[in-house]
Chains A and B, each alone.
Chain A
């Protein structure tokens, strides 16, 4: 059985179809990528799965249990945690405190939360900044803190919303390593990303959506050869670059 099953999901905002009849599943332990042009509905998919928006119709099942209509915090208790496209750390709290909140929300006492928080920061190489207020972090570290916060909730599935956008090449490489490390702990990852070469290198499977509907699904290699994806979604100008990427991958 798949970890998460999304079945015929629909969501519109004032006449605009953000998600249109979308069906897919996420397998336990994999890294699944979600790509699509701006406004394709990627973030909406995340918001529906994580409970921040309710769908107009369709089902979402976690381990076979229906989770539509559950609030974000109770989904979090069940093991689904999202990060925000615009990183949302608790700006006036320290880095350690940021990570403690998710642990405290599970009912742990403050002392335990500090210990576990420190472990997570160490795991993500953030320990040097633990007593710094989150507002003083650079954007790269803010995004890494987002991942640390997600880890603090002991998730089964992390929805990572563009955790690499706005980062430089080195930071992108670091983030990819971190995501692999997180995945190595048995945590399933569902990643929305704009930086295509990153997601192509990272994901085992990729879903492509446009106007809220799925237009392709497959391994990165298959996707990069898919005519429909190249022309309809990326536009002809990009197709050459795309070919290069798939060569690089090989």
Chain B
């Protein structure tokens, strides 16, 4: 049968990549929580960040982590731009229109990437960091560990920002009750801009951290958008802490699925899980029972 240590290593590796999923899904869930919009272009935002990381690392022959300092502000601004010119005008339109406009954006971004970088899978050229450390006798990949630490640090900082800062409190107020926030003088539109910026930046940073041990392609966003939906819905759409835990769970499930079966079976399992959650627990694992 299976080597039990293989399972443990699977769990560890799943937890580590799960941290990245958490960060990605936090971006999705915060946008939904505050704006009520499901961002179908979220995976493409991550894809763009992955390419930016790739370009920076390859052209300057530096470690990909340096891209963090460019990707974070770049994706934040891109998110603000999307909110200002695409989402804001249709916030009061029927929800289908919001789905469609982000879908249109995702189609456009996919094909811009296809035009610029071509259809092939690409990964970093700098000597790949294959190093591992041994932890209690188990092998742990260093790039994954770094991604995990980085993603959780960013998520933690974001949570502190939302809990402590005035702007963060304003964001939470808008998520709670939009009219109420407006009434007490919060500039809701500006909060929306910042929120979408933060959401996009989360996807961007997740892209930076995953790039050292992953590959990118113009259509890679599709994989990630579904994963981030699974995570966000498992944790309860709009709940940041939920997305944090959900990411770790999905990371482990997927990783174990990968041990037992191959890549495409793994995805079938994840997506089936997604559908089953939507059927039986649409408010997420930690959510109240829907009426």
Whether A associates with B in a native complex is yes
Chain A positions within 8 Å of B, measured between CB atoms, are: 13-14, 53
4 pairs of residues in contact across A and B, judged by CB atoms under 8 Å:
A13-B291, A14-B288, A14-B289, A53-B291
Q: Closest B residue to A47 by CB, please name it.
A: B291
Q: Mark B183-211, 1 if CB is under 8 A from A, else 0.
A: 00000000000000000000000000000
Q: Mark B259-291, 1 if CB is under 8 A from A, else 0.
A: 000000000000000000000000000001101
- Shortest CB–CB separation between residue B236 and chain A, in angstroms? 14
For the complex, what is the distance from the CA of A165 to the CA of B25, rounded to whole Å? 42
- Shortest CB–CB separation between residue A36 and chain B, in angstroms? 20
For the complex, what is the distance from the CA of A151 to the CA of B291, rounded to whole Å? 27
For the complex, what is the distance from the CA of A53 to the CA of B289, rounded to whole Å? 13
Which residues on A sit within 8 Å (CB–CB) of B288?
14
Which residues on A sit within 8 Å (CB–CB) of B289?
14
For the complex, what is the distance from the CA of A13 to the CA of B288, rounded to whole Å? 9
For the complex, what is the distance from the CA of A80 to the CA of B241, rounded to whole Å? 43
Which residues on A sit within 8 Å (CB–CB) of B291?
13, 53
Q: Closest A residue to B291 by CB, please name it.
A: A53
- Shortest CB–CB separation between residue A10 and chain B, in angstroms? 15
- Shortest CB–CB separation between residue A31 and chain B, in angstroms? 29
For the complex, what is the distance from the CA of A186 to the CA of B288, rounded to whole Å? 42
Which residues on B sit within 8 Å (CB–CB) of A14?
288-289
For the complex, what is the distance from the CA of A26 to the CA of B288, rounded to whole Å? 34
Which residues on B sit within 8 Å (CB–CB) of A53?
291
For the complex, what is the distance from the CA of A53 to the CA of B290, rounded to whole Å? 11
For the complex, what is the distance from the CA of A17 to the CA of B291, rounded to whole Å? 14
Which residues on B sit within 8 Å (CB–CB) of A13?
291
For the complex, what is the distance from the CA of A219 to the CA of B125, rounded to whole Å? 85
- Shortest CB–CB separation between residue B288 and chain A, in angstroms? 5
Q: Closest B residue to A15 by CB, please name it.
A: B288
For the complex, what is the distance from the CA of A206 to the CA of B288, rounded to whole Å? 34
Q: Closest A residue to B289 by CB, please name it.
A: A14
Q: Closest B residue to A52 by CB, please name it.
A: B291
Q: Closest A residue to B288 by CB, please name it.
A: A14
For the complex, what is the distance from the CA of A139 to the CA of B288, rounded to whole Å? 33
- Shortest CB–CB separation between residue A56 and chain B, in angstroms? 12
